Amino acid sequence: MIITCRKNAPQEEVDKVVKSFEEQGLEVNFIQGANYNVFGIVGDTTVVDERKIRANTWIEDVTRIGAPYKKVNRLFHLEDSVVDVAGVKIGGKEKVVVIGGPCSVEGKEEICNLAKKVKEAGADMLRGGAYKPRTSPYAFQGLGTAGIEAMVEARRQTGLPIVSEIMSTDKIDEFIENVDLIQVGARNMQNFDLLKELGKIRKPILLKRGLANTIEEWLMSAEYIMAGGNSQVILCERGIRTFEKYTRNTLDLSVVPIIKRKSHLPIIIDPSHATGDWELVESMSLAAVAAGADGLIVEVHDNPECAWSDGAQSLKPEKFKAMIDKCKVVAEVIGRSM
């Protein structure tokens, strides 16, 4: 971290600044410039609140060299992390994992039938929302506990591990007991109370990127979970808000190599929410695999026209299978399997 202090700062003010860093166990290197005095702060600066330093009127500027996150940082964990979700391993250099299923669980029979088709298509895991974060309070809010129970039955019938979204801390026990991979949706990426509680448990978490969050904010949210002791975090890019309205969101595919550079955590892509358009899902999936994503999470529905949510972005099972078959070819080209 580099701190620029105003040249006319009184010595006692400069001493105060230096002392505050030394008290935090940091080494302070002083460089006297022609117009400014510069401090190079060496050590673990993740604990330093740079906005607090800026509040000092004698400080001109603060530049962070290192990242504010530690546990998710590749610098301190050179190997790729591999997260084991009930036997399905996500991350590393080998398999690209596919998760498929409806946006919302619509009933036990429906999810069990679809789960079989999703499995036949080649998926490794089943997705299905029981608690839905809907923009309108009048829209279908999910089946709640009945939806989770239906997912558990679909797992029993197919053997596929299940993924579902949690929205509040009061449901954590229900999710620990029943769900294999707990999804934190885009709207809750910065629900810090939820993240802290999920940090205390020992189940894999799928952390989606917020609607309008930077990569650093997203990694800081992952840091919340890891700081609590839960290291099983998988990141999911699901498109971000931009000025473009043609697609529901804009898929930021460059995050795949960026996340690989900055973090050791696995990253998967959600082409369904990223585009909002089933016709774009296959091409974005192919691109995601080519870019090095560790997996895909795709919305699939038997009858998208009648889906209770997100039908327009859902693939029919046969299209889902065709998509996986094409993605397998791309995976092979880059030395991975699917």
Which of the 8 DSSP states describes residue 45? G
**Interacting residue with ligand PEP among 155, 208, 248, 260 (CB under 6 A):** 208
CA 9, 10, 11, 14 torsion: positive or negative?
negative
By CB under 6 A, residue 295 contacts ligand PEP: no
By CB under 6 A, residue 9 contacts ligand PEP: no
Between 108-121 and 317-333, two packed helices, what is the crossing angle to 10 degrees?
30
Could you list the residues that contact Mn ion (CB under 5 A)? 103, 310
From 55-63, 83-91, 179-187, 283-291, give the range in contact with ligand PEP by CB under 6 A: 179-187
Place of tokens 């290197």: 29
**Interacting residue with ligand PEP among 101, 129, 161, 317 (CB under 6 A):** 129
Number of residues that bind ligand PEP (CB under 6 A): 11
User: Closer to Mn ion at the Cβ: 191 or 313?
Assistant: 313
Output the smallest distance, CB 317 to ligand PEP, in A: 18
By CB under 6 A, residue 301 contacts ligand PEP: no
Query: Rounded to whole angstroms, how far apart are CA atoms 238 and 259?
Result: 14
From 11-19, 25-33, 182-190, 258-266, give the range in contact with ligand PEP by CB under 6 A: 182-190
Cβ atoms of residues 96 and 296 within 8 Å: yes
Q: Among 135, 137, 151, 179, which Cα is nearest to 276's?
A: 135
Q: Which option in Mn ion, ligand PEP, none does residue 108 bind, with CB closer than 5 to 8 A by kind?
A: none
**Interacting residue with ligand PEP among 103, 143, 201, 281 (CB under 6 A):** 103
Query: Rounded to whole angstroms, how far apart are CA atoms 125 and 28?
Result: 50
User: Closer to ligand PEP at the Cβ: 62 or 99?
Assistant: 99
Q: Which option in ligand PEP, Mn ion, none does residue 133 bind, with CB closer than 5 to 8 A by kind?
A: ligand PEP
Residue 323: C-alpha distances to residues 22, 90, 94, 281 (Å):
57, 19, 19, 8
Q: Among 338, 306, 307, 302, which Cα is nearest to 318's?
A: 302
Provide the binding-site residues for ligand PEP, judged by CB under 6 A: 103, 129, 133, 165, 185-187, 208, 238, 270, 273
